[in-house]
Every structure is written in C-alpha cells, then in structure tokens.
C-alpha cells in the first residue's frame, strides 16, 4: 500500500461500490475510504480534529498524513456490501450497533412520540429526506433535509411531527449498565436516583473487581 501511495496507484487497490439511493454502509475507524460525487456521508464521532489523508487523487495541493496513518489503518480485506435492515414506518429500525454508538433508520409518516428515558444519552437526528417538526418540553424546531439536531440527555420525550414523509437517522449511545454512569462532579445522589444504588457507590474506594475504566482517574465503587 505504501508503495502504491508513493507512485499514485492507490486507487487500483481499492474496492469500488456503486451506491444507490436508500443504501447505508458502515465504515469503522481505520478503514481506508473515499467518496465520489453524489454520495451523502454522515460522520459519527467524538469531537476530534484528526483526519488522516493518505491520497489526494494526484492533485498534490493538500497535505498528506501517510506516516501517521500506517499505524492505524485496518489492512484486512472487507467484502461487506450495503447493510440490510427493516424499514418499518414510525419505528426505530436498527442499522448498526457498535460499542461507540447505535444508529437507527426512522421513517416518520405520522406524529410520533419517542421516549428516551431508558438510555441516558443524548440523541441526534439527521434528516435524510423530508421535513419534520421536533418538539420537546423546551420548545420546537423545524428540521429540514440535510440538517441535524442534537437532543440533550436531560430530555426524555421528543415528539416528531412530519410535514411530509420524512426519513431520519436516529443516533445515540447505549451505556454499559454494569459501569457507573458519569454525572457532573460524580453526583452520588444522582446515581442512586437512577436505580443503581445497589452498587453502594463511594467516590473514595473502588471495588476489587473494578478496572476503573470510565472513571476518569477517580476510584469508584462499581
């Protein structure tokens, strides 16, 4: 691969996929990829300024980061094509689930109330097609095609009112229930209020079975 980058023939090593309207592809971190004209890309990631560009179609006018990318590229061959999933109207249809996030396809034909009280996560809506009013206890916003809105984790109920047939991407995190949830300043009362008081949380000690992962350096009774 390194040689192909240097001599400008990397394109010969890549698999080309003809993308059709309505198809979804999951590209995990580390997989070399590029996009052609007419393709919509939704990047789901934590806040980061890191993007490793290893090829610029021989244009030569942008910086490449090959020396950094070689250590994080996934070199395994991948033959997976578009993801197959249910497309039930007014229902969250799972597209992909990984340890970082869950992404659902949500076609909205009728007014719909969504309850997120059981996931303890923000929710992101990206409008793939159509137009919808997103209403919460704090107000409402109109979401147009190509636009994205973030619903804070403190809001449990969202009402979706389509102005016409609308297709949304619904994205959130599903936290591991066996680990302590992260609250501002490790609010122990908040932890207990969320039905995990049986863990006897204590900010100064850590259970012998806890690896402290997710504790931000603080010892925690898990």
Domain boundary (36, 55, 84) is at 84
Residue 137: which domain range? 93-172
With bands split at pLDDT 50, 70 and 90, how would you rate the model's confidence at 165?
A: very high
> Higher pLDDT residue, 14 or 149?
149
Answer with the residue of higher pLDDT: 143 or 1: 143
8-28 pLDDT tens trace: 778 888 888 888 888 898 888
> Residue 154, SS3?
coil
Q: Whose CA is closest to 85, among 60, 58, 66, 103? A: 103
Asked whether residue 32 falls in the same domain as residue 108, the answer is no
Same domain membership, residue 39 and residue 16: yes
pLDDT tens figures, 54-85: 887 777 778 888 878 888 888 887 777 788 89
What pLDDT shows up at residue 176? 61
Residue 111 sits in a domain whose CATH number is 2.60.120.10
Round to whole Å and give the CA distance between 151 and 154. Answer: 8
pLDDT (tens digit per residue) in 172-182: 998 764 343 34
Neighbouring CB atoms inside 10 A of 136's CB total: 14
When divided into structural domains, the chain yields a total of 3
pTM over 0.75: no
Partners of residue 157 on adjacent β-strands? 115
- In the DSSP assignment, the letter for residue 72 is T
3-31 b/e with 16+ CB inside 10 Å = b? eebeeeebeeeeeeeeeeeeebeeeeeee
Residue 82 contacts residue 24 (beta carbons within 8 Å): yes
Q: Is the pLDDT of residue 113 over 90?
A: yes
Q: Give the helix/strand (H/E) hosting 191.
A: helix 188-191
Residues 142 and 105 occupy one common structural domain: yes
């Amino acid at each position: 691969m390194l040689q192909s980058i240097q001599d400008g023939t990397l394109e010969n090593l890549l698999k080309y996929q003809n993308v059709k309207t309505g198809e979804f592809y999951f590209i995990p971190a580390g997989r070399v990829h590029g996009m052609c004209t007419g393709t919509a890309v939704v990047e789901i990631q934590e806040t980061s300024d890191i993007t490793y560009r290893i090829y610029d179609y021989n244009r030569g006018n942008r910086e490449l980061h090959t020396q950094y990318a070689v250590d994080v590229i996934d070199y395994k061959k991948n033959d997976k094509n578009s993801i197959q999933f249910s497309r039930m109207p007014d229902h969250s249809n799972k597209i992909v689930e990984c340890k970082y996030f869950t992404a659902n396809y949500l076609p909205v034909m009728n007014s719909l109330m969504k309850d997120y009280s059981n996931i303890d996560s923000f929710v992101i809506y990206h409008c793939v097609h159509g137009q919808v009013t997103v209403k919460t206890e704090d107000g409402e916003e109109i979401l147009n095609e190509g636009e994205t809105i973030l619903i804070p984790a403190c809001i449990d109920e969202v009402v979706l009112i389509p102005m016409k047939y609308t297709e949304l991407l619904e994205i959130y995190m599903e936290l591991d229930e066996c680990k302590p949830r992260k609250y501002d300043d490790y609010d122990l009362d908040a932890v207990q209020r969320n039905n995990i008081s049986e863990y006897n949380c204590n900010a100064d000690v850590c259970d012998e079975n806890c690896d402290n992962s997710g504790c931000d350096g603080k010892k925690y009774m898990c």
